[in-house]
Amino acid sequence: METGKHKMDQLLTEEQKQFRQSVRSFVEKEVIPAAQEMDERGEFPRALFQRCAANGYFALRYPESVGGMDADFLTYCLMMEEIARGSLSLGAVVAMQTLMGTDLVFRFGTDEHRQRLLAPALRGEKIGAIAMTEPDFGSDLGGITTRAIQKDGGWEIHGRKMWITSATVADFFTVAAKTDPEAGFKGIDFFLVEKERAGARVGRKIEKMGVRASETSELILEHVQVPAENMLGKQGAGFKSLGDILCQIRVMTGALALGLGEAALKSSIKYSNERVQSGQTIANYQAIAHKIAEMGTRLEAARALVYQAAKDIDAGAKDVKLASMTKLFATEVANFIADECTRIHGSYGFAMEYDAQRYYRDARFLLYGGGTSEVLRNVISKAMGVPESRK
């Protein structure tokens, strides 16, 4: 397999191929040259964020009725793959803006919400984020302690959120809170909270080992008052509302994994063809050649899963098992390739001047959002008929 040319291209229309090439050109010219500096600075990539907005990327998956471009989901995944190939930090930021941070506002917000918040977000003028995880509850979303209590015709929200992507720069948040603390997942609902609401404040910024230019922080909600219309969806249906996009989140994360894996594989091939050891390039050694062959094979298998799962979503399918398999396999493959990349680079894989170490650090990010590998294996095994109750 030559990098940049894939067997799975046969699944793409000419329009999709042309769009991917346009994103690839942008990434080559503007993202890759800035990736190392973005990582070193560890700051929100505002200039590239605005360039993505100008290119129409934020509007891609939304309908024209709200200022979107009405593209299919596979096209969206192609975009995310290419952006992640240049910088997973930028990929994480774009993913939040185009999916998790804005989707529930699109589906359940009022016309006023869509006009005042969503439409500007699709133009890059406002920034959205989703706030689900808490200090003690990540995978176990049903255990969250943030509460929303009806008060004065609206809702009062109190709690603390953790690991919130883009929180430091966000203008509005989609906040998960319990309206019925005894109902587990069924007691979760989502609320639109704007940053200027009294009692809402961003806490400490979390310093991370990877995706450093995607700023992550805690969000503190101290008796925040929101009107009744800021509940996004019907009461008690919040977890179902999230479930409706969970397949998209998992497949999209698989696309991010493809991009990072592609970058690490390309770096490995380039280095192995340049590094001379004992009078010949290390690519001539079977041990290195076999590593690259394995990396390429796994990446192409992951691409097949991602593209097929994306096409199924476009066809209206909601295959939780396939989406979970896709996220599980693709993200584990990306971590495998990033690890092998550092091994091929040898001691230089440990040097900050080479991109190999960044790929290795960034790849870990892919393992957590949208379900850890362990949670996904539970989901998959249950879908395959294995009893759910396990210790």
Residues 250 and 359 in one domain: yes
User: Does residue 391 lie within any of the structural domains?
Assistant: no
Domain count, the chain: 3
Residues 166 and 103 in one domain: no
Last residue of a domain, one of 236, 255, 270: 236
User: Does residue 388 lie within any of the structural domains?
Assistant: no
User: Does residue 220 lie within any of the structural domains?
Assistant: yes
CATH of the domain at 168: 2.40.110.10
Question: Whole-angstrom Cα distance, residue 46 to residue 215?
Answer: 11
- pTM of structure: 0.95
Residues 217 and 301 in one domain: no
Residues 185 and 223 in one domain: yes
Tens digit of each residue's pLDDT (9 = 90 or more) over 91-125: 999 999 999 999 999 999 999 999 999 999 999 99
User: Does residue 116 lie within any of the structural domains?
Assistant: yes
Q: Both tokens of residue 104?
A: 């529930």
Last residue of a domain, one of 63, 97, 122: 122
Question: Whole-angstrom Cα distance, residue 95 to residue 98?
Answer: 5
Which spans in 275-318 are helix H? 286-314
Question: Whole-angstrom Cα distance, residue 141 to residue 177?
Answer: 10
Question: Whole-angstrom Cα distance, residue 302 to residue 327?
Answer: 9
Give the three-class secondary structure for 351: coil
Residues 68 and 116 in one domain: yes
CATH of the domain at 21: 1.10.540.10
Q: 């101290």: which residue's tokens?
A: 222
Question: Whole-angstrom Cα distance, residue 232 to residue 66?
Answer: 17
Provide the 10 A C-beta neighbour count for residue 391.
2
User: Does residue 164 lie within any of the structural domains?
Assistant: yes
Residues 191 and 315 in one domain: no
What is the pLDDT at residue 4?
54
**DSSP result, 53-120:** HHTT-TTTTS-GGGT-----HHHHHHHHHHHHHH-HHHHHHHHIIIIITTHHHHHHS-HHHIIIIIHH
Residue range of the domain that includes 355:
239-383
Residues 263 and 344 in one domain: yes
Instruction: List the beta strands (DSSP E) in the chain.
Output: 128-131, 147-151, 154-165, 172-178, 188-194, 200-205, 216-227, 276-277, 280-281
What is the pLDDT at residue 2?
47
CATH of the domain at 338: 1.20.140.10
Residues 351 and 287 in one domain: yes
- With beta carbons less than 8 A apart as the criterion, state whether 175 and 193 touch: yes
Instruction: Provide the sign of the torsion angle of the four alpha carbons 48, 83, 254, 57, taken in this order.
Output: positive
Residues 229 and 312 in one domain: no
Residues 358 and 253 in one domain: yes
What is the pLDDT at residue 141?
76
Question: Whole-angstrom Cα distance, residue 40 to residue 323?
Answer: 33
Residues 257 and 379 in one domain: yes
User: Does residue 389 lie within any of the structural domains?
Assistant: no
For the chain, 391 residues long, give each residue's pLDDT as a single digit of tens: 444 566 678 889 999 999 999 999 999 999 999 999 999 999 999 999 999 999 999 999 999 999 999 999 999 999 999 999 999 999 999 999 999 999 999 999 999 999 999 999 999 999 999 999 998 876 677 789 999 999 999 999 999 999 999 999 999 999 999 999 888 888 999 999 999 999 999 999 999 999 999 999 999 999 999 999 999 999 998 988 888 899 999 999 999 999 999 999 999 999 999 999 999 999 999 999 999 999 999 999 999 999 999 999 999 988 999 999 999 999 999 999 999 999 999 999 999 999 999 999 999 999 998 899 999 999 999 999 998 765 6
Amino acid at 55: N
Give the three-class secondary structure for 137: strand
Q: Both tokens of residue 380?
A: 């998959």
What is the pLDDT at residue 170?
98
User: Does residue 2 lie within any of the structural domains?
Assistant: no
Question: Whole-angstrom Cα distance, residue 72 to residue 81?
Answer: 15
- With beta carbons less than 8 A apart as the criterion, state whether 370 and 249 touch: yes
User: Does residue 260 lie within any of the structural domains?
Assistant: yes
Residues 99 and 186 in one domain: no
Within 8 A by CB and 6+ apart from 204, the residues are 217, 218
What is the pLDDT at residue 391?
60
- With beta carbons less than 8 A apart as the criterion, state whether 101 and 330 touch: no
Question: Whole-angstrom Cα distance, residue 272 to residue 288?
Answer: 8
Last residue of a domain, one of 92, 122, 152: 122
